[in-house]
Structure 1
Amino acid sequence: MTSTNIEIILILKDFLQQVQNDPELRSHFASSQSLTKRRKLPLDRIAYLVISLLKRSLSVELEDFFSTHYPTEGCVTKAAFCKQRQKLHYSFFALWNAVLVNSFYSLYGKRAKRWKGFRLVAIDGSTSYLVNKPEVFDHFGVQVNQSTSVVMGRIMTARDVLNGVNICSQLHPINTSEQHIAYQWIPNLERDMLAIYDRGFPSFSAMYLHLEQEAPVNFVMRCKNSFNKEVSCFSQSACPDLLIEIKATNSAISELGKQGYKVTSETTVKVRLIKVLLPDGKTEILITSLLDARKYPLHLFGDLYFKRWGIETEYGMQKNYMQLELLSGYKVNTILQDFHASIFISNLQHILSIPAQTKSEKKHKDRIYSYQINRNIAIGNLKQHLINLFKRKDTGALIRKIEKLFAKYIEPVRPDRSFLRIVKGRRTKGKYQTWTNYKRAI
């Protein structure tokens, strides 16, 4: 696995150098005259700085960067950096992440984890606090409540929850519907994916779009007991598993018509309804396209749907450990650079930790609990070596060093833990708060 990770880093480095050295390729992300090698801040240095997750004062970050990696050169000013980074479009980091994800699936191959042959892809949204600047306000919009309005963005992510990889992640204006983003993503899902959705996503349109693709994509969706008449009757019955056909609604006919599908009130989709009993005694209802009860028996679905929780913990990691909402600039392009850089580093850290995690599981297999890499500390340690990972030629030696650091800081996984959520009043003044169970690592 270490050798595979070395190859992945080489692919990432090669992509960066191709973009920097090929004017035609570079023109997709910057003007042909921008970010050349003759400057102190060519494309590769801009990329290094952005993926370094700049959370301190820019002047401090720049001084640290140049004194550590380019000690013979003078440090640039933060104004020069801010001006130069605007020449690099944020899509570069989104594409760099796509190169990383594709390299992972290509090189890990059969070693990538699957459920019944499927990649489990949880699709869900979240929100991100932004800054109240005119350009940001105009692009992303505001979330309004009874007392105030806050500039926010809508995050949408498709995450492979078994392999810990964010396949796609985007930041949209806050008024963008999560459901409509999901509709746009469905044609890009692959046949070996099993899409898992929370109860905000089920609709006839969503189910139809999954099943009517040239290569149909299977799904599992949690729905409300009142989703439609068939689901309401099923929820009140003693039946735990039922095949039904759902007819198109008027809103679905309209929505699908806009996308070029000819759907009538007689159009149906065949799905399976499943009841899952929760630990608190409540019952949740799932709608799935996995119709074969022999191949996919009822007892599998409770654990299957729970795996969706991996996308929720990823959002928590992004916002808390990686400080996603602590921005290094106040332009729309800068904010999107920071966002995609954060997704890139999250994926990179998780992929680099696979060998250390595998060794840890073997080493502690006889203990009461299984153990996992402490991601907060791992991200902090990765940041210390990140630039050298791309600059140095002895990539293998550095990757092995990083793996040892990851393996050094592990924590037990205690299953089935739950705690009563107690909301405490906290002071609102001051920039920092002390938490007993968390200290930032970057």
Structure 2
Amino acid sequence: MHSTEFLENHRKKSTDFTRNRTLTFPCLISFMLNALNGSIQAELVRFFNVIDDNYLSTKSVSTAAFCKARMKLSHQAFVELNDDLVQEFYETATIDKWQGHRLLAVDGSVTQLPISNELLEHFGKARPHAAMPHVRLSQLYDVKNNITLDLQVESHSTGEREMALKHLNKTQTGDLVVYDRGYPAVWFYKYHRLKNVDFCMRIVKSSNVVKAFLESGKYSDVVDFPCIEKSLRRCRKDKISTESLRLRLVRVDLPSGEPEVLVSSLTDLQAYPTALFANLYHQRWGVEEDYKVLKSRLNIENYSSISVEGILQDLHAKLLTKNLAASAMHDAKRKIKKPKKNRLYDYKINFAFAINQLKDNIVRFTMKLADLELYELLISKISKSLSVIRPNRKFVRQDRRNKTNKYPMNYKRMC
């Protein structure tokens, strides 16, 4: 953040951030990482109070000055910072894995945008009669370590499978990626094979291959998936192999008695017994919970701009803030005291509390105002805020698509 090279790579013009301003390039990035949810002016006052370590700073930056400054900044700055954080995390942390695999999940989500002609033209809307623009998100998420490796932001008309294809650039050999039922396609499976990445997906029961599997009464079988119709055309277009694939089908009976079918590249029946797959697919729910953190805890739909670049800045900045909180939680796990044997449930660190404790402290760290002592104190505090893990809880998902704008641009929170 403080290097000249990073500044030159992520400013819009060579003359940007060259004058001696109060809101410098590092200040601007640090300010946007501080989980902005209130009015910009109130957040600016709070930010400089932290910078000056004072109850009320004498420095003054207007909302207009912030808006002008952010127009000089590319959202790719936050993307690169997140890439650096993810790389450093996996190089230094002792991560949790599933059967030796880094367990990743991909899922998409749609979020509501502020009313703006620019946003409506660029991102589109969810339904023809919708009044407000919407954006489609897709993330590649490590369900065991709470880290988002990649976030894709596209127009609402972009397909989730195409967005998921871009995520494969952030995977590595030996990864295992779990998907919901909207993703299966033979051409999509082939791209995983090209990357040496394993997968497990929920598949619809309407195809002939799946129907034959269910009729057989088996709970696991390795079958051939021919490359036909749309997949054949896509493979020819992308100049990849059109040969059939041998993949594994696994039947999982739901509590209701209805079977669901998973397709996977994990064809070794001894290394991956059928009994593992129900829990494997269930762990995909972690990415759904992460969207809840982003939407309900960090309020990513509470935007601070009505421009395309401003929206991208807000989304990638809050994602980076979330990943910083996840990294802090990973450190805090080392300090958790061993629970008493008579406890009924296991406990985990409270994610919302970790994000809360990063507010303002993230400014102190990124602006080099704090030392290791404050970090150790922060980690110790986070490690003491635990929430109970209650297994096998289920709730009916609410349909929030028809709700009105939760965060109107003209009525920002003051705190």
Could you tell me the TM-score, scaled by structure 2's length?
Answer: 0.91
Contact in 1 for aligned 2:174/2:196 (Cα 8 Å): no
Equivalent runs, 1:125-274 vs 2, <5 Å: 125-145=108-128, 147-211=129-193, 213=194, 215-226=195-206, 228-263=207-242, 267-274=243-250
Q: For residues 335 and 365 of structure 1, what CA distance do their matches in structure 2 show? A: 48
Asked if the contact 2:347–2:387 (Cα under 8 Å) also holds between the matched residues in 1, the reply is yes
Question: What secondary structure sits across from 2:289 in the alignment?
Answer: helix
**Which SS does the other structure have where 2:132 is aligned?**
strand
**Distance in 1 (alpha carbons) for counterparts of 2:19 and 2:323:** 28
Structure-2 separation of matches of 1:197 and 1:117? 19
Could you say what secondary structure the match of 2:240 adopts?
A: coil
| Structure 2: gaps spanning 5 or more residues | none
Write the deviation string for residues 215-235 of structure 1: whole angstroms up to 9, x where unpaired. 421110110111x21111112
Partner of 1:107: 92
Report the AA paired with residue 105 of structure 2: A
Conservation of the 8 A alpha-carbon contact between 2:329 and 2:351 = no
CA distance in 2, matches of 1:205, 1:332: 32
**What's the secondary structure of 2:347's corresponding residue?**
strand
Alignment deviations for residues 394-441 of structure 1 (CA, whole Å, 9 cap, x no partner) = 4311111211221232211111122456889x9979979xxxxxxx9x
How far 1:179 moved relative to its partner? 0.8
Counterpart code for 1:43: F
What is the DSSP-based 3-state SS (H/G/I as helix, E as strand, rest coil) of the residue aligned with 2:360? helix
> Counterpart of 1:288?
264
SS at match of 1:27: helix
The structural deviation recorded for 1:186 is 2.8
1:26 to 2:7 alignment: yes
- Is 1:189–1:217's contact at 8 Å kept on the other side of the alignment? yes
Change in Cα spacing, 1:296 to 1:427, as seen in structure 2 (3 Å) is closer
* Compared CA separation, residues 129 and 427, structure 1 to 2 (3 A): closer
- Equivalent residues in 2 for 1:23-422, closer than 5 Å: 25-30=6-11, 31-36=13-18, 38-70=20-52, 74-108=59-93, 111-145=94-128, 147-211=129-193, 213=194, 215-226=195-206, 228-263=207-242, 267-360=243-336, 362-364=338-340, 366-392=342-368, 394-419=370-395
AA of the residue aligned to 2:123: F
Amino acid at match of 2:190: Y
Does the CA-based 8 Å contact 2:47-2:360 persist in structure 1?
no
Instruction: Tell me, yes or no, if the aligned pair for 2:102 and 2:174 is still in contact at 8 Å.
Output: yes
How many angstroms apart in 2 are the aligned matches of 1:431 and 1:174? 20
The answer to whether the 8 A contact 1:364-1:371 is kept is no
Q: How far apart, in 2, do the equivalents of 1:352 and 1:195 lie?
A: 24
3-state SS of paired residue (2:47): helix
| Residue 319 of structure 1, CA deviation | 0.5
C-alpha spacing 1:318/1:224, structure 2 compared with 1 (3 Å): same
More relative contact order in 1 or in 2 (CA 8 Å, sep 6+)? 2
Question: Taking every aligned residue pair, what percent have the same amino acid on both sides?
Answer: 29
Please tell me whether the aligned partners of residues 329 and 379 of structure 2 are also in contact (alpha carbons under 8 angstroms): yes
Quick one: distance in 1 between partners of 2:303 and 2:155?
17
Mean Cα displacement is larger for which, 161-170 or 388-397?
A: 388-397
Q: Deviations over 1:134-183 (max 9, x none)?
A: 111111111225x4343000001000101111000121111111011222
- Between the aligned partners of 2:185 and 2:398, the Cα distance in structure 1 is 34
* Separation (CA, whole Å) in 2 of partners of 1:114 and 1:37: 48
Indicate if the aligned counterparts of 2:48 and 2:59 stay in contact, CA closer than 8 A: yes
Task: Report the secondary structure of 2:236's partner residue.
Answer: helix
> SS in structure 1 opposite 2:361?
helix
**Which sits farther off after the overlay, 156-165 or 412-421?**
412-421
- 195-204 or 72-81, which moves further after superposition? 72-81
- The range that moved more, 412-421 or 99-108, is 412-421
Residue 119 of structure 1 and its aligned partner are, at CA, apart by: 0.4
- Residues 165, 421 of structure 1: CA spacing in aligned structure 2 closer, same or farther, 3 A cutoff? closer
Q: With structure 1 as the length reference, what TM-score do the two structures score? A: 0.86
Q: Equivalents in 1 of 2:37, 2:369: separation in Å?
A: 28
- Identify unmatched segments of 5+ residues in structure 1: 1-15, 433-439
Going from structure 1 to structure 2, the CA distance change for 1:307 and 1:37 (only over 3 Å counts) comes to: farther
> How many corresponding residue pairs?
405
Residues 143 and 431 (structure 1 numbering): CA distance in 2 closer, same or farther, change over 3 Å? Answer: closer
* Matched residue type, 1:379: I
- The whole-number CA distance in structure 2 between the counterparts of 1:116 and 1:299 is 13
RMSD: 2.4
Task: Go from structure 1 to structure 2 and tell me whether the alpha carbon gap of 1:397 and 1:65 turns closer, same or farther (over 3 Å shift).
Answer: same
Deviation, 1:42, is: 1.4
Q: Which piece of structure 1 moves more, 401-410 or 198-207?
A: 401-410
Q: Measure, in 2, the Cα distance between the counterparts of 1:225 and 1:389.
A: 51
Cα 1:184/1:405, change in 2 over 3 Å: same
CA distance in 2, matches of 1:54, 1:326: 8
CA contact (8 A) 1:361 1:371 kept: no
